[in-house]
Amino acid sequence: MELDCPPELRQAAETAVRAAGLSDCHLAVELVDEHRIQELNRRFRGRDSPTDVLAFPVDGSEPAPGPRELGDVVVCPERAEDVEEAVVHGILHLAGHDHESDRGEMLALQDAVMRELRGAGS
């Protein structure tokens, strides 16, 4: 697993990757300001407003042999209530989860990851 992310978010990223069932992968996490996340949201989602987290997948969500280039998670700390949770949320999207179309599985997995990070999952 290769993670390019701020050191204070590494544990959250590693825990989310493992929870998603991935091991041989690469992803990047970047922290940006409100102006930058609004620009990205406008350009890639057609929404002209700042948001808390965006995920930009590269290899798609289908299982594949060998290492996967998951993509990028971009978080705006000014907009996120919990930056670690925003990172987890973005990584689960990169892994193919979608809370808008599943039956609650993604958000349940996200909650489990957050409990583990907070020490309540052991």
Task: Indicate the pTM of the whole model.
Answer: 0.88
Mean pLDDT throughout 99-105? 82
Provide the 10 A C-beta neighbour count for residue 65. Answer: 6
Per-residue tokens: 13 = 């990223």
Percent above pLDDT 90 for the chain: 71
If residue 100 lies in a helix (H) or strand (E), which one and from where to where? Answer: none
In this prediction, residue 75 carries a pLDDT of 98
Q: What is the CATH class of 2-117? A: alpha beta
Per-residue tokens: 98 = 């979608």
**Structural domain boundaries in the chain:** 2-117
28 residue type, one letter: A
Q: How confident is the model at residue 19 (pLDDT cuts 50, 70, 90)?
A: very high
